[in-house]
Amino acid sequence: MSKKHKKMLARILLSALFLAAALLLNTEGYWRLAAYLVPYLIIGWDVLWRAVRNILHGQVFDENFLMALATAGAFATGEYPEAVAVMLFYQVGELFQSYAVGRSRQSIASLMDIRPDYANLEQNGELIKTDPDEISVGQTIVVKAGEKIPLDGVVLEGASNIDTAALTGESLPRAVQPGDDVISGCINQNGLLRVRVTKAFGESTVSKILDLVENSSSKKAKAENFISKFARYYTPAVVLSAVLLAVLPPLVLGGAWGEWLHRALIFLVISCPCALVISVPLSFFGGIGGASRQGILVKGGNYLESLAQAEIVVFDKTGTLTKGVFNVTAIHPGHISEAKLLELAALAESYSDHPISRSLKEAYGPTPDTSRVSDVEELSGHGVRVKIDGDAVCVGNDKLMEEIGVKWHPCHHVGTTVHVAVNGDYAGHIVISDEEKPDAKKAVAALKALGVKKTVMLTGDSRAVGESVGARLGLDEVDAELLPAGKVERVEQLLAQKSKNGKLVFVGDGINDAPVLSRSDIGIAMGAMGSDAAIEAADIVLMDDQPSKIASAIRISQKTRRIVYQNIVFALAVKLLVLVLGALGYANMWEAVFADVGVSVLAILNAMRALKSPPANQPQNPDTP
C-alpha cells in the first residue's frame, strides 16, 4: 500500500469511529448535526472541494458533484447518518479502485522489472558502479552472476546462461559466449561476462520497452472512449432526472415534497458511474500487463481490443515463418573457384543486415575485409550492388540479374538462388535454404482455431520456395517474388477483401517491412530483442520470434474484451435495476450505497482477471471448459 492509500485508510477508520460515536451519543438538535458533520468532513472534504473547484472551472457534472449533492441533500432532509455513510462507502470504493490500479501498474512494473540500477564500468582495471545513463558506447562493463545486464552489448569475455524471461516469457535460459550479443534487461545467471557496450542507455532495448509500456495507456481502446463519452452525457442526464423526480410527482400527483426529494437523492447516489469508468480501462491495462508477461508488448488498448477481430493474418516469410538462417546447399561457380565465389558474395554482403547476408557471411567464415568494399547499394527485394577492389559486383536474385542484363543460369537445386555477377559477367550462383520455425505450422493451425478466416504468406523469395513452405505450413495463400512495394499493394488488396469489422494483421520481422507494418490494421513485429526498427514500426511487438505467440496475443485480446463487455453489461444492468427501485421508493439510501460500492468492487475484481493470461497452446480438453 502506498502512503496515499494509508492516509486514506486512516481517514476512513477515523471517520467510521466518529460516526459510531455520533450514533452512540444520540444527541439532539444542533449537537446532533455537529456530531455527524465531524465524520462527514473528515471523510468528504476532498470530494466537496473537488466538486466546488470543478463548478468554478465550468465542469459541473462529475461523480464528485453527484456525491456532494446527494450527501448535502441528505443532511438537508435530516438523514445525517446516511449522509456520512454514503460518503464513507464512496471513499472505500475509491480506495479500492486506486489500490487495484496501483496493483496492476505494479505488476506490470515488476513483470517488466528490467530497469537496471547500475552498471559495473571497467576503468583502468577497476570496477566502478555507475549509472547506466552515464556509460557511452564502446566502454566495457562487467556483469556478475545474478546481475541484470544494464546495457545492450557484445560479450568480450566469459560464457554464461542468460535468463530472458522478463523480456520474452521464455523460461529456458540462453547460452552466450564471446562474440554474442546480449540484451539489457536480461539476467546473467552464472558466469562472469565482460561486455562492450553497443548502445547508449536511452537507445537500449530496456529503455525502448519501458517507454512503450509507459505510453501504452495513452492509446485508448474504443470501449474506453465510449465510456468517457458515456459519462459525459450520463451524469447531466442523471441530475436532470433526479430534479424531475423531486419536482414533478409532487406538482402533478400532489405527492409529499420531502418523500420525493428523498427519492431523488437516493437516485443520485445510485447513479454514480464509477464502476464502469474505472473497470474498463483497468481491464485493458490488465490485458496489456498479462501480455507483457509472455513477452508480448502491446502499444495500446486500441490494438489489444481490435486484435480479437483478426480476420486475415498476413505473414512475411523470411525470419517470420522461417528461421532466417540459411544453410548453403550448393555453390556453382562459373570460371572461378568455389571459395572465390563465396568470398565475393560475403564481401559484397558485408554491410547488409539481411538474413541472406548474415548467412552468407557465416558460411564464409572470417570477417570480410571491408576495406576492399566501396560504393555499397542495397537494393531491397533484389540484392546488393558494390565495388570490390574496384570491380562492380552484383549479388542477388534473378530479378537483379535481369535488371543489369546479365545472363544467369537457373539451378536444379530447390532453394533460394543467389547469383553473383562481376563487371557484367556471370560468375555463378550459391544456393541456400532456410528452415521453417518449429512452431510455425502449429501457429497457423492455432490462428484458424481462434477464428482467423485467411492466412497469407508474402515473400520476395522465388515462387518454388514460397509455395513449398506455404503448403507445408498449411497457409491459404502464397504470393512470391514480391518487391516491398508489391507487398504493400497486396496488403491493400487484402484490406479491401475483409469484412467491415474484421482486421488485417501483418506479421513481419521488422527488417524492410516497415511500410506494410504501418499499412495494416495491426502490425506485429517479432524477434524484437535488440531490433529497434521493429519496436518502432509495429503496434504489437513479440520479444522472441515464435509465431505461436500471435495466437497467444489473440487469446489475451479475446479474454480482455469478454471481461470488458461483462463489466459494462453487469454494471449497467444493476444500476438500472436499482435506479428503478429507487425511483419507485423500494430502495433506501443504504441499499443505494451498497449497490454502488458493490458493483464497483465486483467490476474491479473482474477486471483484474485480465492480468492473468490464458494459458498458451491450451489443448482442447472437453473435461475442462
CB of 440 to Mg ion, least distance (A): 15
Residue 416 binds which entry of Mg ion, ligand ADP, none, with Cβ cut-offs from 5 to 8 Å by kind?
ligand ADP
Q: Which residue has the cell 570490390?
A: 388
The span of 108-116, 128-136, 353-361, 567-575 binding ligand ADP (CB under 6 A) equals 353-361
CB-nearest residue to ligand ADP: 460
Q: Please write down the HEC assignment for all residues of 263-316.
A: HHHHHHHHHCCHHHHHHHHHHHHHHHHHHHHCCEEECCHHHHHHHCCEEEEEEE
What b/e string do you get for 561-586 counting C-beta neighbours within 10 Å, with b at 16 or more?
bebbebbbebbbebbeebbebbbeee
Give the CA angle between residues 24, 28, 33 to the nearest 5°.
85
Decide if residue 354 touches ligand ADP (CB under 6 A).
yes
Decide if residue 520 touches ligand ADP (CB under 6 A).
no
- From residue 332 to residue 351, the character string flagging contacts with ligand ADP as x (rule: CB under 6 A) and all else as - is -----------------x--
What b/e string do you get for 239-268 counting C-beta neighbours within 10 Å, with b at 16 or more?
bebbeebbeebeeeeeeeeeebbbbbbbbb
CB 507 within 8 Å of CB 319: no
Residue 395 binds which entry of ligand ADP, Mg ion, none, with Cβ cut-offs from 5 to 8 Å by kind?
ligand ADP
The span of 63-71, 269-277, 314-322, 386-394 binding ligand ADP (CB under 6 A) equals 314-322
Decide if residue 44 touches ligand ADP (CB under 6 A).
no
In the region spanning residues 260 to 299, those forming contacts with ligand ADP, defined by CB under 6 A, are none
Decide if residue 361 touches ligand ADP (CB under 6 A).
no
State which residue, 490 or 562, has the beta carbon closest to ligand ADP. 490
Which residues are at the interface with Mg ion (CB under 5 A)?
316, 318
State which residue, 263 or 317, has the beta carbon closest to Mg ion. 317
Decide if residue 384 touches ligand ADP (CB under 6 A).
yes
Decide if residue 491 touches ligand ADP (CB under 6 A).
no
CB of 480 to ligand ADP, least distance (A): 9
DSSP string, 310-372: EEEEEEEIIIIIB-S-PEEEEEEESSS-HHHHHHHHHHHTTT--SHHHHHHHHHH-SPP-GGG
Q: Exactly one of 208, 220, 299, 317 binds ligand ADP (CB under 6 A); which one?
A: 317
Q: Exactly one of 88, 186, 356, 393 binds ligand ADP (CB under 6 A); which one?
A: 356
Q: Exactly one of 279, 512, 531, 557 binds ligand ADP (CB under 6 A); which one?
A: 512
CB 5 within 8 Å of CB 102: yes
Question: What cell numbers appear for 278 in the block?
Answer: 474505472
Q: Which residue has the cell 482486421?
A: 503
Decide if residue 394 touches ligand ADP (CB under 6 A).
no
CB of 472 to Mg ion, least distance (A): 19
CB of 354 to ligand ADP, least distance (A): 4
- Of 165, 167, 164, 155, nearest in space to 191 by CA: 155
State which residue, 461 or 596, has the beta carbon closest to ligand ADP. 461
Decide if residue 382 touches ligand ADP (CB under 6 A).
yes
316 assigned to active site: yes
CB of 498 to ligand ADP, least distance (A): 22
CB of 380 to ligand ADP, least distance (A): 6
DSSP 611: G
Three-state secondary structure call for residue 523: strand
Cα–Cα distance, 75 to 87 (Å, whole number): 12
What b/e string do you get for 223-235 counting C-beta neighbours within 10 Å, with b at 16 or more?
bbeebeebbeebb
φ and ψ of 506, to 5 deg: -110, 135
φ and ψ of 214, to 5 deg: -65, -30
How distant, in Å, are the alpha carbons of 86, 261, 576, 579, 595 from that of 583?
A: 18, 10, 11, 6, 15
CB of 343 to ligand ADP, least distance (A): 15
Decide if residue 381 touches ligand ADP (CB under 6 A).
yes
Cα–Cα distance, 144 to 255 (Å, whole number): 80
The span of 231-239, 376-384, 542-550, 559-567 binding ligand ADP (CB under 6 A) equals 376-384
CB of 484 to ligand ADP, least distance (A): 6
State which residue, 97 or 416, has the beta carbon closest to Mg ion. 416
Q: Exactly one of 188, 279, 357, 557 binds ligand ADP (CB under 6 A); which one?
A: 357
Cα–Cα distance, 74 to 178 (Å, whole number): 74
φ and ψ of 484, to 5 deg: -50, -40
Decide if residue 331 touches ligand ADP (CB under 6 A).
no
State which residue, 528 or 593, has the beta carbon closest to Mg ion. 528
State which residue, 418 or 538, has the beta carbon closest to ligand ADP. 418
Catalytic residue among 152, 163, 316, 509: 316
The span of 57-65, 111-119, 259-267, 312-320 binding ligand ADP (CB under 6 A) equals 312-320
State which residue, 174 or 317, has the beta carbon closest to Mg ion. 317
Beta bridge pairs of residue 417: 431
CB of 140 to ligand ADP, least distance (A): 32
Residue 306 binds which entry of ligand ADP, Mg ion, none, with Cβ cut-offs from 5 to 8 Å by kind?
none
State which residue, 108 or 526, has the beta carbon closest to Mg ion. 526
**Within 10 A of 123 (CB to CB), how many other CB atoms are there?**
10
Q: In terms of DSSP bridges, do strands 187-188 and 373-379 run parallel, antiparallel, or are they unpaired? A: unpaired
In the region spanning residues 413 to 452, those forming contacts with ligand ADP, defined by CB under 6 A, are 416, 418
Q: Which residue has the cell 564481401?
A: 347
CB 245 within 8 Å of CB 268: no
- Which residues are CB-neighbours of 574 under 8 A, at least 6 positions away? 595, 598, 599
Question: Active-site residues: which are they?
Answer: 316
Q: Give contact residues for ligand ADP (rule: CB under 6 A).
A: 316-318, 349, 352, 354, 356-357, 381-384, 395-397, 416, 418, 459-461, 512
